[in-house]
Structure 1
Amino acid sequence: MVQSLKSRIFYYLVKRQLAALRRQNLPIAEFRLARESAATKLFTLPPNVIVEATQVAGCKAEWLRPTKPVGGGVVLYLHGGAYTSGSCITHRTIAARIAAASGRATLIIDYRLAPEHPFPAGLDDALAVYQALVESGKTPLALAGDSAGGGLALALVQRLRDQALAMPLALAVMSPWTDLTHSSETHQTKASVDPYFPTPERLVASARAYAGGTPLTHPMISPHYADLSGFPPMLIHVGEHETLLNDSIWLAQRVHAAGGAVKLKVWPGMWHVWQALGGKMREADESIAELGEFLREQF
């Protein structure tokens, strides 16, 4: 597939804007607000999704409901942000596009963030919300997430499996952060082309903040080190221009080795969570459509 001209333009725009944001070196509270402000300006909601603010299991949340649902069931979306930023606001549009593509109501939550709330606070929130959905009859359930949210989804499945709780039907993850020890060579080989993480400092600091006093190799912090047997069918999308590329490649290899059903797609020329630009460039729309179709098939 030939990379679109529009995606090439967006690549350089994103790279420039993120470099400018890094130079500001904002405190975490200001950085979070800056991300929310940028998201409201840059990203557009699809017209066929209704947003409904709510609260589930003590977490602020939003329902993204397609105006033309294709069936029952719910997608629980876990946002990215290196476990230290991100919210319903920053990821509303990508979750809404997953809702439209899957034809299912999608719930996005504000789980607790580090450094104020290190591991396992965010995972505890995700589990509490998941259980609340099950107990209220909002089933069947699937999970979706990007970056740290993808890692959190993988940790949630581990906990559900280990506690013999109801499992999700499927996992759809975008650029998941699965190895917080950063042992992969792509942290070096892809640094020059990654708009988000050209240097390791932010990821290293975020990993330490999230882990707190827990080793980074804990399987629910770094699913790369987990037993991945018994996982539901999984679709992984990742960009070629990502320092986290091997996180996805290794994840697919380990799920397959554990006997799981997994499909990995590496998108040429794409960067970390390019799906956020849905509605603006072809590659984002195509990825979301494929993720949505995968979820439809599993439901």
Structure 2
Amino acid sequence: MSKEQRAQVDALLRRLRPEDPGPQSVEALRAGFRALMSRMIVPDGIRTAQTELGGRPALRVDPEDTPRPGTILYFHGGAWVFGSPETALCLTGHLVARTGFAAYSVDYRLAPEHPFPAAIEDTLSAYRALLDSGHDPSAIVFAGDSAGGGLAVTTCLTARDAGLPLPAAVVAFSPGLDATRTGESMRTKEGIDPIFTRAALDHTGAMYLAGQDPRQPLLSPAVLADLTGLPPLLLQVGANEILLDDSTRLAARARDAGVDVVLDVTADVPHVFQCFAGVLDEADEALDRAALFLSQRVRSGDAPRTAAA
């Protein structure tokens, strides 16, 4: 681990924050995020192709070599307002390269054009499509970052409540899990977090909520959802995040609900620090742990009966 690397990442993110502290337009948010994520390293050894899954565009990501049995269903980050499978390719690609699994990254609908629950409807439809095409749920894993990490959890909840079989495991990088914004870290990490402020989260959160009450299980699962029956969870989060307590509280409630859960907190790193693989040692180490977690939970030899999409 390198204090110098962590300091460099922190300084970079602070430099890239908008000079105007006021609310940004949707167009500015989307363009800024694309520019930031274009700096991230996409690993060698993967192939990508545009496809469709559950009625939505998706990016198929394969290892160059023959895939191992197993499928990652990936949900990108971006506060439910910006981002795409392409902006998340550094993360999806590293998981594919490390596990040998194929992945589908879903281009779910975004707010404010499509507020809650449109994103969850799309991710659940993508999961149904995998199941309908013959994929064994014990060989499917969910993964996501930020808003997509939240979707990995809430898609499990909606699948469970719909009576669908659940995936083998879930990995969530810095997930957004509490639209009520009641975590202690919202206050204690303000200013320490180099990316987010409370005001910025309130701005994008209002677009996603579109006037709905945030006190709903699918908006604030960290404090309101019944987590009974969920598959094993790995929650990775940075200690410098104002969203830190989204993960710590979900982990505690998952434990109390009898769910296998690993809470993986890395010191002095920002939101979705795994994006900095190849630059930050902690990012590569965290991705190694995530890939091991997923690989251990996909039953060896459980291949899809037919190809999806």
Task: Supply the distance in 1 between the matched residues of 2:194 and 2:35 (Cα, whole angstroms).
Answer: 19
Task: Supply the distance in 1 between the matched residues of 2:66 and 2:244 (Cα, whole angstroms).
Answer: 33
Counterpart in the other structure of 2:153? 154
Structure 2 residue 29 is the aligned partner of structure 1 residue 31: yes
Of 61-70 and 111-120, the range deviating more from structure 2? 61-70
Of 67-76 and 244-253, the range deviating more from structure 2? 67-76
Change (3 A) 1:292 1:120: same
Q: TM-score, normalised on structure 1?
A: 0.94
Give CA deviations for 1:110-142 in whole Å, capped at 9, x if unaligned: 100111101110000001111111111233210
Q: Gapped runs of 5+ residues in structure 2?
A: 299-309
Counterpart in the other structure of 2:127? 130
Letter in 2 for 1:204: D
Match of 1:95 among 92, 97, 103: 92
Query: Is this contact kept in 1: 2:237–2:265, CA < 8 A?
Result: yes
Give CA deviations for 1:84-123 in whole Å, capped at 9, x if unaligned: 1111121111111111122211111110011110111000
1:31 deviates by 2.1
Counterpart in the other structure of 1:221? 219
Q: Gapped runs of 5+ residues in structure 1?
A: none
Change (3 A) 1:216 1:24: closer
Task: Supply the distance in 1 between the matched residues of 2:33 and 2:168 (Cα, whole angstroms).
Answer: 32
Structure 2 residue 177 is the aligned partner of structure 1 residue 202: no
For residues 180-195 of structure 1, the aligned pairs below 5 Å read 180-195=179-194
Change (3 A) 1:24 1:55: farther
Give CA deviations for 1:177-209 in whole Å, capped at 9, x if unaligned: 111111112111101110111x31121122222
Counterpart in the other structure of 1:298? 297
Task: Supply the distance in 1 between the matched residues of 2:66 and 2:40 (Cα, whole angstroms).
Answer: 23
Specify the SS of the correspondent of 2:191: helix
Specify the SS of the correspondent of 1:283: helix
Letter in 2 for 1:115: P
Q: TM-score, normalised on structure 2?
A: 0.91
Match of 1:211 among 203, 209, 212: 209
Change (3 A) 1:30 1:205: closer
Task: Supply the distance in 1 between the matched residues of 2:22 and 2:216 (Cα, whole angstroms).
Answer: 33
Give CA deviations for 1:19-49 in whole Å, capped at 9, x if unaligned: 44x6585420232123223322x01211111
Q: Percent identity?
A: 35
Task: Supply the distance in 1 between the matched residues of 2:221 and 2:232 (Cα, whole angstroms).
Answer: 16
Task: Supply the distance in 1 between the matched residues of 2:294 and 2:66 (Cα, whole angstroms).
Answer: 13
Give the RMSD, CA atoms, in angstroms: 1.5
Letter in 1 for 2:51: T
Specify the SS of the correspondent of 1:137: coil
Letter in 2 for 1:209: M
Query: Is this contact kept in 2: 1:3–1:269, CA < 8 A?
Result: no
For residues 23-172 of structure 1, the aligned pairs below 5 Å read 23=21, 26-40=24-38, 42-69=39-66, 71-139=68-136, 140-172=139-171
Counterpart in the other structure of 2:301? none
Change (3 A) 1:154 1:114: same
More helix by share: 1
Counterpart in the other structure of 2:172? 173
